[in-house]
Amino acid sequence: MADRADERAAMAARFRERGIADERVLAAVRSVPRHAFVPEPHRSGAYDEVPWTIGDGQTISAPWIVAFSAESLRLPDEARVLEIGTGSGYGAAVLAAAGASVVTIERHPGLAGSAREALQNAGYGDVDVRVGDGHAGVPDRAPYEGIVVTAMAQDELPPALVEQLAPGASLVCPVGRGGHGTLFRYCDGVVEKLLDVRFVPLVAG
């Protein structure tokens, strides 16, 4: 598989122009081979701003929103981070490449297995991939210095995730219905609107 480093460098440069300033996130974007996490039929367009389908009704988020969400966590160095919705594994790889210790949970066992393999092959085998209900989080590894949700919660931020935050930590989560909503950041009781977004729904169970 070709390295495609030039495409990653160009993507990181575009993100810097669009306001991404966290050098750890930009370095991760330059280093993580996104094409390794995109299904073969879409691999040629892996560095386009497109949320490609990955099976089980799920998508790999467009790369800019992955970088934006990672930066919005405002992580300390070597943070423990929980990702809700593993999907392809790309978001977890970016967080790991940015220096975080990542736990990620996916409700679809097939996707979790594929993501675990892709992460291992790309050099991010230390990412802890779980199968389960994202609404419940992963309490045995809590508290987290950051939690990012990659699917749309309905009506409210999931209470269990709020409870698993460390003091001063941020939860970045889209909330809405019908695939449309708002990306919010929650930190120490303060909720901040970040931007309007489209995500697949966060399904319980």
Q: In the chain, what are the domain boundaries?
A: 5-198
Cβ of 47: how many Cβ atoms within 10 Å? 18
From the list 61, 72, 88, 170, the catalytic residue is 61
Amino acid at 67: A
Per-residue pLDDT reduced to its tens digit, 32-85:
999 999 988 899 999 999 888 888 878 788 999 999 999 999 999 999 999 999
CATH placement of domain 5-198: 3.40.50.150
Predicted TM-score of the model (pTM): 0.95
Q: In this predicted structure, what is the pLDDT of residue 53? A: 85
Q: Is 72 marked active-site?
A: no
Q: In this predicted structure, what is the pLDDT of residue 1? A: 63
Q: In this predicted structure, what is the pLDDT of residue 58? A: 84
Cβ proximity of 131 and 65 under 8 Å: no
Segments in the chain below pLDDT 70: 1
How does DSSP assign the chain, residue by residue? ----HHHHHHHHHHHHHTT---HHHHHHHHHS-GGGGS-GGGGGGTTSS---EEETTEEPPPHHHHHHHHHHT-PPTT-EEEEE--TTSHHHHHHHHTT-EEEEEES-HHHHHHHHHHHHHTT-TTSEEEES-GGG--GGG--EEEEEE-SBBSSS--HHHHHTEEEEEEEEEEEEETTEEEEEEEETTEEEEEEEEE--B----
